[in-house]
Structure 1
Amino acid sequence: MSRRETWTVFAASLAVYLGVGLTLSLRYGYLLGDALARTSAAQAVLFSRDPHVSAIGYIFTPLTALAQLPLVAFSSWLPAITRWNISAIAVSALFMAGATVMIYGICRDRGLTKPYSSIIAAVFALNPIIVFFGANGMSEAPFLFFACWAARRLIRWVHTDDVHDLVFAGIALALAYLTRYDAVAAIAATTFLVAGVTVMRQGRAKWRTMRRRALLDAVLLAGPGFSAFVVWTATSWLITGEALAQLSSNYGNAAILEQSGGGATGTLLGNTAFVVTAIVVLGPTLLIAGPVAAVLAHRRRDLEFLVAPVMFGSVLAFQAFSYITGSTFGFLRFYICAIPLAAIVVVQIFAPQGNPETRRTGKFHRSRSEHATAKIGVSAALVALSVVGMMVTGWAMLQPSLSAQQYALGYLFDTSPSANDADAVAARRIIDSFSTERELAAYLDSQNLPEGSVLVDTVYGFAVVAASSRPDQFIVPSDQDFTTILNDPAAAGVQYLLTVPNSGRGESDAINRRYPSIYDNGALEFSFVFEAPNDGADQPDWRLYEV
């Protein structure tokens, strides 16, 4: 694949994702909470009252927030970068464009022509849910990039036996772990796959030699990911006292599930049906292309086919198990790996042709025999199937029962929903999420308060801090003296406390834990200033108290 092809695919995809992302943010004010929380974390590293690297937090893995730092560095001159989540949008657009390049590269490595490769990459890139998550700053885009990068390198390794491909696949999986914890499943599954492929390649070799080579290949793949896990966990323990803060802390996943009333609440059969439906609507082409590609791979003795189902399938299985057992929420986005899996399976229906360039072929490298180009009718059928699959995914995104977070996109142009249309009213509240927080930030900025004047927890307050042009006016939990100031705000010169109801996720708010009745009566210590009813969905009404 030439550099010109790479940059053409990348630039075209990037333009689409940036355009959509900036339109959703600046035109419609449609921001997503997890993306904005990562932006707030990046802002805290540079511009909080107590800036330091560990302010990045240990609930989310760090890479998505760290990648925003170069852009967030300019937010002191242009506050819109954090207020409208532009830094996160830019990061997700870059990574999703990179994922598209990887899908195109898998096509070219397989020996597909430029037209076929371009069409398959375009169908992937323009899938509605891929466009949305390439444009909203969430962690799905960088995770898909690293997963697709790892898949491409592993597919190449199966063919070339080049140690460089194996090492790069391991690095990609390690970076995927630093983006989302789901990568643990992919690292484990692909490690066993690599060991198995190595064993199968060696035929009747002595058991000791076979075992040593399989172990070495497995270590090369899993080593970077294991190192990333150890370093991140140790760092979390040294700084917060909790090795797995994402699971055990007051702000972690278990606490969020408990405070929000749990994850999956239906029957085992109902939860399983949701998982199956989510995977099918995101990757409907798998129903036809999957069995066909599997049969053809078996006939060709093509081990390359195993990579994508094992890697992406392990992530899907992890998410399915988590939801069915009530350990996570029923969000359609958690099954987004079905989309690159479907794209790669379609690619592997075509017989491999030619040999991709490699740095150093290994002992078990097998030259591909040249095959006739796929018939036009077969290619057209696969393209049509992929386009239909893309349309099914687009339909699913607009169904409230399937896509609780994305269906609001269908109401972007409905500025005055009927009071009788519950879905439209709920969608408008989703679109208006964080509008109240931006107004609160504007109000506090207008007061020209000195540094450290407003005490707020970032459970919900991240959106207020991110929207402010003066983030140093807030005292937040990442400040090293937060607990001391919380115990005696007046002595520290605090003027206001920004509070939320002591219910749901508000139970983990540090101010509520220190002053349980503050939202209702100011804990009989602080004077009520005003209340700000929230226009957004699943967002609390705010009350400001004066010290």
Structure 2
Amino acid sequence: MSSRAPWIVFGSALAGYLAVGITLSLRFGFILGDALSRTAAAQAVLLSRDPHVSAIGFIFTPLTGLAQLPMVAFASWWPAITRWNISGITVSAAFMAGAVVMVHGICRDRGLPGRYRILITVVFAINPMIVFYGANGMSEAGFLFLLCWAVRRLIRWVGTDDVHDLLLAGIALGLAFLARYEGVVPIALAAVLVAVVTACRRGREHWKDMRRRAVLDAVLISGPGTAMFLVWITTSWLITGEALAQLSSSYGNTAILTQSGGASGDLVQTTAFSLGAFIALGPTLLVTFPLAVVLATRRRDLEFVVAPLLFGGVLAFQAGSYITGSTFGFLRFFICAIPLAAVVVVQLFPAAGDLPTRRAGAYRRHRPSCPPMRTAAAVAAAVLCVSALPVTAWAMLQPSLSSQQYALGYLLAGDPSAADSEATTARRVIDSFATERELAAYLDGQALPDGSILVDSVYGFAVLAASEYPRRFVIPSDLDFTQILNDPAAAGVRYLLTVPNEGRGVSDAINRRYPTIYDNGAQLYPLELEVPNTGADQPDWRLYRVPS
């Protein structure tokens, strides 16, 4: 049974997340923009008029998009794969199911009794934020899986001194960077942790003798991530001319902040939000973390240090980024508090039994086979785990804390009355890309040739993902995009699909080339169609015809 347990855990979680994701997408039409944007990028790699790998883009890190390619390849036969973000949902469901397996593995490695192992795993798996981000195609699922994998392997390495655990942790951290940029933080912190632990393994009086091994171990843990980081920024620089396009590009995070009106700038407000988000997602940490610190100190348990350092480093980075005004205040940025809370509860239990390992190192730490454990303390820890669920669920439904998730509370509500502004706004959030799907259906019905519609992917990604004929669109990842933008008629373009030249629309390449295109067709192109948008924070569309 034990050998099948990870597969049972994975299969159960995967089925649950897929069911929730497909229901949200197909029944309610609730799709998040960043998830659909990654799907459109994967579509551009395989199904655009100019397919190539670099079409994946350099604004988002590539792992989530690349993982979708096997499914997106079949979108020509079944367009719903991209239109309803089924490929993204499948990938995030698999990744989040993997994160659940890693939490279960951490419980098993700790030697927890079966009932507590199952309880902690289930509570983590059904946490509302974990369910939602396992079901919506966003990159959080992949990042959590890889970070949980790295944490598990580093915890094992502290006890086993097995180089295999160290190498696997390094690979997981490297892939975590390819899932989300903040992956650089745990890579650096893990290198420091490993170097310090190795240097002190023979005691402080022998640390000079251990320096060479400490450096080697730090290189092993950080090498894969460092290599992936260097390859990624070098490739970005060679292709786009910008090493960190996510920060410096006109499509990047800094530009988006400026176009959206800038950061809050209120130190008290941003700090309060960061603390509130942390407490909302990890409320049990207020009790369990201090207790775990005391217990780990009494037990001389170095395993405890790993999770707070890696998960906590990401949380501190996200809080610092928001407080200093370099990112947005999204609840999802603090999602690492959930696995951190789960692992801290696990480590309230005493470690039991030596870990099975391929090749134990010279500094393996032996653990008692049956350490004393108080039933009352274990039950209290389990109750704390369960108590976190309603707190997180409540936080997700608060617009002030959860601007991207609160609309979930209105999924089953009927059409709101005009007087209920909050419900009306939530309905628009749920229907964010309904207009783009209707616009894609209209364009699909025009029997146009390939390369006949020019559009930027700033907002156009939703139209591209919904279209049955992505080859009809000329998009920025096409190698001849700039040439065609300068003379659409000569390239056979028939339509320009435009958005207002305001907000994020100022970064739209068509607006930058023709600043008055949305208002008057740049006095070159006649208006063919105007489409008011019903989605939240989505622009109205105008379709201009290119005279032949």
What TM-score do the two structures reach when normalised by structure 2?
0.98
Q: How does 1:399-414 map to 2 (within 5 A)?
A: 399-414=398-413
Cα distance in 2 between the residues matched to 1:195 and 1:330:
34
Residue matched to 1:438:
437
Deviation at 1:201, TM superposition (A): 1.2
- Describe the SS at the equivalent of 2:88: helix
Partner SS, residue 10 of structure 1? helix
Q: Is the 8 A contact 2:418 2:424 kept in 1?
A: yes
Question: Structure 1: which amino acid aligns with 2:318?
Answer: Q
What is the distance in 1 between the residues matched to 2:20 and 2:207?
A: 55
Q: Report how far residue 378 of structure 1 moved.
A: 2.1
SS at match of 2:542: strand
Partners in 2 of 1:411 and 1:418 — Cα distance?
13
CA distance in 2, matches of 1:473, 1:113: 58
Q: How does 1:152-231 map to 2 (within 5 A)?
A: 152-204=152-204, 206-231=206-231
Structure 2 residue identity aligned to 1:94: A
Q: Give the match for residue 356 of structure 2.
A: 357
**Residue 207 of structure 1: CA displacement?**
4.5
Q: Which residue of 1 aligns with 2:387?
A: 388
Cα distance in 1, alignment partners of residues 372 and 128 from structure 2: 30
Quote the RMSD (CA, aligned, Å).
1.0
Give unpaired runs (5+ residues) of structure 1: none
Partners in 2 of 1:92 and 1:223 — Cα distance?
Answer: 26
Cα deviations by residue, 1:288-321 (Å, 9 ceiling, x for unpaired): 0001111000000000000000000000010001
Distance 1:487 1:267 in 2: 43
Aligned counterparts of 1:149 and 1:478: Cα–Cα separation in 2: 33
Counterpart of 2:389 in structure 1: which amino acid?
A: M
1:152-181 C-alpha deviation (Å, 9 max, x unpaired): 000000000000000000000000000001
> Secondary structure at the residue paired with 1:529?
strand
CA–CA distance in structure 1, aligned partners of residues 207 and 132 of structure 2: 50
Which residue identity does 1:536 align to in structure 2?
G
Please name the residue that 1:107 is paired with.
Answer: 107
1:289 partnered with 2:308: no
Mapped partners of 1:204, 1:509: distance in 2: 58
1:296-335 aligned at under 5 Å gives the runs 296-335=295-334
Identical pairs, percent: 68
Q: Tell me if the contact between 1:351 and 1:371 (Cα under 8 Å) persists in the aligned partners.
A: no
The farther-off stretch of 231-240 and 141-150 is: 231-240
Per the alignment, in what secondary structure is the counterpart of residue 179 of structure 2?
A: coil
Deviates more, 1:106-115 or 1:22-31: 106-115
Post-superposition Cα deviations, 1:29-52, rounded to whole Å, max 9, x if no partner, equal: 000000000000000000000000
CA positional deviation for 1:244? 0.9
CA distance, structure 2, for counterparts of residue 309 and residue 372 of structure 1: 24
Tell me how far apart the structure 2 counterparts of residues 535 and 267 of structure 1 sit (CA, whole Å): 32
3-state secondary structure, aligned to 2:478: coil
- Report SS of the residue matched to 2:340: helix
How many residues are matched? 546
> What is the deviation of 1:197?
1.0
Matched position secondary structure for 1:538: coil
Partner of 1:39: 39
Which amino acid in the other structure matches residue 210 of structure 2?
Answer: M
Residues 49 and 474 of structure 1 are in contact (CA less than 8 Å); yes or no, is this contact kept in structure 2? yes
CA distance in 1, matches of 2:90, 2:515: 40
> 2:504 maps to what in 1?
505
Aligned to 2:68: 68
Unaligned runs of 5+ in 2: none
TM-superposition CA deviations, 1:312-370 (whole Å, max 9, x none): 00000100010000000010000000000000000000000001210111111011013
What code does the residue aligned with 1:251 have? Answer: Y
Aligned-pair distance for 1:204?
Answer: 4.5
For 1:510 and 1:208, how far apart are their aligned partners in 2?
57
Distance 1:140 1:204 in 2: 39
- Counterpart amino acid of 1:391? P
Please, which moves more after superposition, 374-383 or 17-26? Answer: 374-383
User: Are the counterparts in 2 of residues 455 and 497 from structure 1 also a CA contact under 8 Å?
Assistant: yes
CA contact (8 A) 1:195 1:215 kept: yes
Cα shift at 1:373: 5.6
Which residue does the alignment assign to 1:337?
336
Show the counterpart of 2:122: 122
Tell me by how many angstroms 1:120 deviates.
Answer: 0.2
Q: Answer whether contact 2:354 2:369 (CA < 8 A) is retained.
A: no
The aligned counterpart of 1:6 is 6
SS in 1 for 2:298: helix
Question: SS at 2:91's partner residue?
Answer: helix
The residue aligned with 1:271 is 270
Match of 2:145 in 1: 145
Between the aligned partners of 1:215 and 1:421, the Cα distance in structure 2 is 61
Whether the 8 Å contact between 2:199 and 2:207 is mirrored in structure 1 is no
The SS at the match of 1:67 is helix
Task: Write the distance in 1 (CA, Å) between the matches of 2:9 and 2:113.
Answer: 15
* Distance in 2 of aligned mates of 1:373 and 1:415: 55
What's the secondary structure of 1:530's corresponding residue? Answer: strand
Contact 2:199 2:208 (C-alpha < 8 Å) held by counterparts: no
Cα deviation for residue 208 of structure 1 reads 3.8
Using the alignment, how far apart are the partners of 2:387 and 2:324 within structure 1? 32
Give the C-alpha shift of residue 206 in structure 1. Answer: 4.1
Secondary structure of 2:356's counterpart equals: coil
**CA deviation vs aligned residue, 1:121-143 (integer Å, no higher than 9, x gap):** 00000000000000000000000
SS at match of 1:498: strand
